[in-house]
A and B are shown apart, each in its own frame.
Chain A
Amino acid sequence: MSNGNMNLTLKVWRQSSNTAAGKMENYQLGGVSPDMSFLEMIDMLNDQIIRKGEDAIAFDHDCREGICGMCSMFINGEAHGPNRGVTTCQLHMRSFKDGDTIYIEPWRAEGFPVVKDLMVDRAAFDRIIQSGGFVSVNTSGRTMDANAIPIPKDDADKAFDAATCIGCGACVATCPNSSAMLFVSAKVSQFALLPQGHPERKERVLNMVKQMDEEGFGNCSNIGACEVQCPKNISIENIARMNREYLSASVKPEN
């Protein structure tokens, strides 16, 4: 049950460091089981590489259940591979066929420099959140009761849907403009939909968009690939909402 019988040709981006030149390397891997996750297949490949005394392929991963947002990988030209609504760690080898050739590359965007092999630096996302992706409320056992402000279920649900973004960066990797607007708009939307987010609504969107631009991410030109490839199905409606928030914040900054 453990060992499968798929044979694969893997073409993997290898780059020893941020400043080194990278290239695609060829690997043959046999005995792959369709029940393996994609990352378990990479584990198997790494086991083979290590036993040869070579440097293991570096890749980001942690929870392996689709929630931490750490895994990335551009697989056959698609962020998180061919399936919709899943991260790379949730992709299973049953989505591939015996004899397939699979191309595996890192996210490629100016805002996400390669660290090593398939690992990229996504600290730009953290800096965007640091610029305004929060409600300025200090820790206190004396905030108002959690039920003091009723929130319409529909708003709460929409805020939740936006808040399920895992910050993986697939939207950026997919976008021809390397735009981070799906990511940024998801956070802006979450707080725009909730009363707790309203006091800082204007500064938030202005600051976050400013930081987004400074990080080298491009603009949205309504292609919509981000929404399709987002493993959490974050809706592009959020970008429209962010644009409205941005516009109203820009027009009347004093009110």
Chain B
Amino acid sequence: MKLDGKIPEGPLDQKWNKYKNSVRLVNPSNKRNIEVIVVGTGLAGSSAAASLAEMGYKVKAFCFQDSPRRAHSIAAQGGINAAKNYMNDGDSTYRLFYDTIKGGDYRSREANVHRLAEVSASIIDQCVAQGVPFARDYGGLLDNRSFGGTQVSRTFYAKGQTGQQLLLGAYSALSRQIGKGSVKLYNRHEMMDLVVVDGKARGIIARNMITGEIESHSGHAVVLCTGGYGNVFFLSTNAMGSNVAAAWRAHRKGAAFANACFTQIHPTCIPVSGDHQSKLTLMSESLRNDGRIWVPLHKEDAEAIRAKKLKPTDLPEERRDYYLERRYPAFGNLVPRDVASRAAKERCDAGFGVNATGEAVYLDFASAFMRYGKTAATVQGVHNATEDQIRELGRKVVAGKYGNLFQMYEQIVAENPYQTPMMIYPAVHYTMGGLWVDYELMTTVTGCYACGEANFSDHGANRLGASALMQGLADGYFVLPYTIGNYLADEISTGAISTKTPEFIEAEKAVRERLEGLFKTTGTETVDTYHKKLGKIIWDYCGMARSKEGLEFAISEIRKIREEFYKNVKVPGGMTGVNTELEKATRVADFIELGELMCLDALDRDESCGGHFREEFQTEEGEALRVDDKYSYVAAWEFTGDPSAPKLNKEDLIYENIKVQQRSYK
């Protein structure tokens, strides 16, 4: 397999413009005869489908949910980055580019990331024009806040529901095109396979989740906007239905899967409370603007808190360890996610955890209440306000910023975070790895594209907060609509693509047989049992810390799980009609294969970088130790027919504009 990133020549800040000026176009009358399949309707999928339809292509959009508005982008909380510099704090396209490359621990492509930073400002303009109600200041202009790994405020937000507002914006654009008949929507449809004809992606096989029918759909190009694979861990902040099936099936049909081991463990999630739990809930990174993270300074205090003999609010300042502020004075509580997560794990492993399981730290708003309260009292002319009055005023300000997050916390934990600090612990949140794509977002299967979290391209080994929304919308609104034309310009005389060809018939048959095979076992174990087993292995050995020994053990365990799954899984019901267990079974089968690839990828990378922390490779201070001369590459894995023996292809990362150095947030 040859990997050609197709990075345009020329200076970094002119590459995208130059590309746009020279890319081939498809004239309007030809667009009407070209069909594009878009799978997934999150930020990337909805924005891509809407934009392509506006341009005149015929679009078919697929989602497994009952409505495109429910894609998991909706759950993104804190915000979206854009280099607008409205705050006059020194931000620029270059700084957003630089922060993203550095945040990704120098494992992403310069050209892609610079393009992302360039189009970021247009995203905000576009969303405001669509009627997205971002937070505003009293003067009527847009407000910003800070996220991790940056020293500027470039994050636009809508309380703790930014993803919801952005997705509803993209959904409304998509709905407008559906209403016009330019997009045909297939909801409650799940992609089961990619169909490749003469080396080109020509369609998909989908299962109608209501009738159970296996359907063939054809198009001149297939765009996968199917999100990440965090649910391989079983417990993650992903939605229950989020899965890797579409990307994995494309991988099995020839799309290289890149950097599978680059997963993001988000530092501020509600801790696991018991083994009944089906998912974990994020508390937005934006909370680290105002919340301070700490554990007790002395072990005996931590023990007393765990035994519920001591309350956190009773512990005086001098007996608290604000360990992020201590270790990273320059960035403090706003270090990137991988750094914050490891630091929490380090304290908890050392015995300073604060909940019954010992796996939680505090996120405390007490000082923010007082800080905001004092300002509010001054503004409102409340003189000689008592401490309680100030705190109350401050709580109102904080509620205005993060109200829904505090409410979510209280629902789950049954503790009032206005009264006592939140308890948080890292949890799986996002996957930087994904389908390998070139500069045009095309995978190694001609005509098959991947956008948003489904591709690997922009975040390197660690994504900065508020950059997933930016990337999803950048890909869908401003990148793919240009780049796909370069391919479709060759398709103007292809004509309609028949689904009656042997390739479609074969693929349909294979899907049917795969599904029917799941009913043939006389198994006794539920799908969830295997998913939980797999998730635990990956969390323990391919989670926040990895080692050669552990990964080798995990690989052998995952192979056993795969074997056992096909022998002993119990799927009730049949092929027709709604069958939620069948849906889960096919997804878990793909997760098992992907899980092995994640471990193989982590084992190959004898270095630590970003979210990939190999215990053998760390500095004296416990920071990630990269090995640039050997591992400054994208690991693009090729499917060989045996999930245990993928072939590694390498795309060297070349830094022409940024000096690669040891990442420091001190």
The interface of chain A, by Cβ under 8 A from chain B, is 1-3, 16-17, 33, 35-37, 39-40, 43-44, 47, 49-51, 53-56, 58, 60-70, 85-86, 90, 92, 94, 115-116, 119, 121-123, 125-126, 129-141, 143-147, 150-153, 156-157, 159-160, 163-164, 166-167, 190-191, 194, 196-197
A147 and B142 form a contact (CB under 8 A):
yes
B133 and A62 form a contact (CB under 8 A):
no
Interface residue ranges of B158-187 to A (CB < 8 Å): 158-159, 161, 163-165, 168, 171-173, 175-176, 178-179, 185, 187
B408 and A62 form a contact (CB under 8 A):
no
Query: Does B130 belong to the interface (CB within 8 Å)?
Result: yes
Q: Give me 13 A-to-B residue pairs in the complex whose CB atoms sit less than 8 angstroms apart, sorted by A's number.
A: A49-B572, A51-B570, A56-B581, A68-B72, A94-B414, A116-B577, A116-B578, A122-B67, A134-B175, A151-B136, A156-B136, A163-B133, A196-B129
A129 and B274 form a contact (CB under 8 A):
no
Task: Considering the complex, give the chain A residue whose CB is closest to the CB of B281.
Answer: A65
B59 to chain A, nearest CB (A): 13
Query: Does B374 belong to the interface (CB within 8 Å)?
Result: no
B578 to chain A, nearest CB (A): 4
B69 and A167 form a contact (CB under 8 A):
yes
A135 and B136 form a contact (CB under 8 A):
no
Task: Considering the complex, give the chain A residue whose CB is closest to the CB of B527.
Answer: A50
The one of A40, A130, A191 that contacts B175, using a Cβ cutoff of 8 Å: A130
Produce 1/0 per residue, B114-144, CB < 8 A to A. Answer: 0000010010111111110111111111100
Contacts A69-B69, A147-B141; A141 near B122 (Cβ below 8 A): yes
A119 and B276 form a contact (CB under 8 A):
no
Task: Considering the complex, give the chain B residue whose CB is closest to the CB of A211.
Answer: B179
Task: Considering the complex, give the chain A residue whose CB is closest to the CB of B574.
Answer: A55
The interface of chain B, by Cβ under 8 A from chain A, is 47, 50-51, 54, 65-70, 72, 74-75, 84, 86, 119, 122, 124-131, 133-142, 158-159, 161, 163-165, 168, 171-173, 175-176, 178-179, 185, 187, 210, 239-241, 273-279, 281-282, 356, 404, 407-408, 411-412, 414, 477-478, 481, 524, 526, 528, 570, 572-573, 577-578, 580-581
A135 and B133 form a contact (CB under 8 A):
no
Additional 18 contacts, C-beta under 8 A, given A68-B74, A167-B67 = A36-B274, A53-B570, A55-B572, A61-B240, A64-B240, A65-B75, A92-B412, A126-B185, A130-B178, A132-B179, A137-B130, A139-B47, A146-B128, A150-B139, A151-B140, A156-B134, A191-B131, A196-B128
A66 and B408 form a contact (CB under 8 A):
yes
Residues of chain B within 8 A (CB-CB) of A69 are 67, 69-70, 74
Residues of chain A within 8 A (CB-CB) of B412 are 37, 90, 92
A64 and B577 form a contact (CB under 8 A):
no
Contacts A40-B278, A116-B578, A130-B179; A123 near B75 (Cβ below 8 A): no
Contacts A62-B239, A156-B135, A160-B165; A1 near B573 (Cβ below 8 A): no
A80 to chain B, nearest CB (A): 12
Main secondary structure of the interface of A (DSSP, over half): loop
B126 and A47 form a contact (CB under 8 A):
no
A107 to chain B, nearest CB (A): 12
B276 and A33 form a contact (CB under 8 A):
yes
B278 and A64 form a contact (CB under 8 A):
yes
Residues of chain B within 8 A (CB-CB) of A66 are 408, 411
B178 and A122 form a contact (CB under 8 A):
no
A92 and B74 form a contact (CB under 8 A):
no
Question: Considering residues B47, B128, B356, which has the most beta carbons from chain A within 10 angstroms of its beta carbon?
Answer: B128
B175 and A143 form a contact (CB under 8 A):
no
B276 and A197 form a contact (CB under 8 A):
no
B175 and A196 form a contact (CB under 8 A):
no
Contacts A125-B67, A139-B54; A90 near B137 (Cβ below 8 A): no
CA distance A165 to B576 in the complex (A): 34
CA distance A39 to B412 in the complex (A): 13
B129 and A62 form a contact (CB under 8 A):
no
Residues of chain A within 8 A (CB-CB) of B580 are 56, 58
